[in-house]
């Protein structure tokens, strides 16, 4: 298991439409393991493949925040949204590719997704609460969309400038 570096916005790879996963093989299982380890270490509740520079349609999530509770890691391969609720939910979202920035985003409160598991089984499940918010945030990543795209242009630009500064500082620190 390897911790993979998480791309920071702005990065052209975070704006790309990802390609479907063609085969569930050893490399894909290793990628999913690495993504879960990277997500837990960050820490985060979700992580999509493009955030580690892999432009394929899969994401991982575990929205159990209680450290005393058993973890519930999920790997969703080639996810599709099959239904969304009319009711909405607003949540202050963050993103591991936009560190330390948070903003309210309104999305459907419930969502149904169909995906392939690591075992190659096609399953469908309905998510609510934080699971629904996180699944939609991660699904957006696979279509090159960030939570910043739901904000007004001024707020988006302000956060983007902060991230450009952060990246310059981090690049300087590595020399």
Q: Enumerate binding residues for ligand K1U (CB under 6 A).
A: 43-48, 65, 91, 93-97, 133-134, 137-138
Shortest distance, position 95 Cβ to Zn ion, whole Å: 3
Considering the complex, state which of residue 24 and residue 95 has its C-beta at the smaller distance from Zn ion. Answer: 95
Between strands 58-61 and 74-84, the pairing is: antiparallel
SS3 141: helix
Binder of residue 134, out of Zn ion, ligand K1U, none (CB less than 5 to 8 A by kind): ligand K1U
- What Cα–Cα distance (Å) separates residue 89 from each residue in 10, 44, 108, 128? 27, 20, 6, 10
**Partner whose binding site includes residue 47, from ligand K1U, Zn ion, none (CB under 5 to 8 Å by kind):** ligand K1U
Whose tokens are 């409160």? That residue is 109
Six-digit token pair at 48? 């999509």
- Strand bridging mode 111-116 / 74-84: antiparallel
C-beta of 24: minimal distance to ligand K1U in Å? 22
For residue 120, the 8-state DSSP code is: S
Strand partners, 92: 104
Rule CB under 5 A: which of 62-101 touch Zn ion?
A: 95
According to DSSP, residue 56 is labeled B
Shorter beta-carbon distance to ligand K1U: residue 122 or 129: 129
The separation between CA 109 and the C-alpha centre of its own chain, rounded to angstroms, equals 17
Options 80, 93, 138, 173, the catalytic residue: 138
Active site residue 173: no
- Min dist CB 26 to ligand K1U, Å, is 25
Residue among 24 and 138 whose Cβ is closer to Zn ion: 138
Point out which residues bind Zn ion (CB under 5 A). Answer: 95
Active centre residues (catalytic): 138
């Amino acid at each position: 298991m390897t911790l993979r570096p998480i791309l920071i916005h702005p990065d052209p790879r975070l704006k790309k439409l990802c390609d479907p996963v063609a085969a569930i093989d050893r490399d894909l299982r290793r990628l999913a393991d690495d993504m879960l380890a990277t997500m837990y270490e960050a820490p985060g509740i979700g992580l999509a493949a493009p955030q580690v520079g892999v432009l394929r349609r899969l994401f991982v999530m575990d929205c159990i925040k209680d450290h005393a509770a058993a973890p519930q890691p999920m790997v969703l391969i080639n996810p599709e949204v099959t239904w969304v609720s009319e009711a909405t939910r607003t949540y202050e979202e963050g993103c591991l590719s936009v560190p330390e920035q948070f903003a309210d985003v309104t999305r459907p409160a419930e969502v149904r997704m169909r995906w392939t598991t690591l075992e190659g089984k096609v399953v469908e499940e309905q998510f609510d609460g934080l699971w629904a918010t996180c699944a939609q945030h991660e699904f957006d990543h696979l279509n090159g969309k960030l939570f910043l795209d739901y904000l007004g242009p001024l707020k988006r630009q302000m956060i983007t400038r902060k991230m450009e500064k952060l990246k310059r500082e981090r690049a300087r620190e590595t020399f």
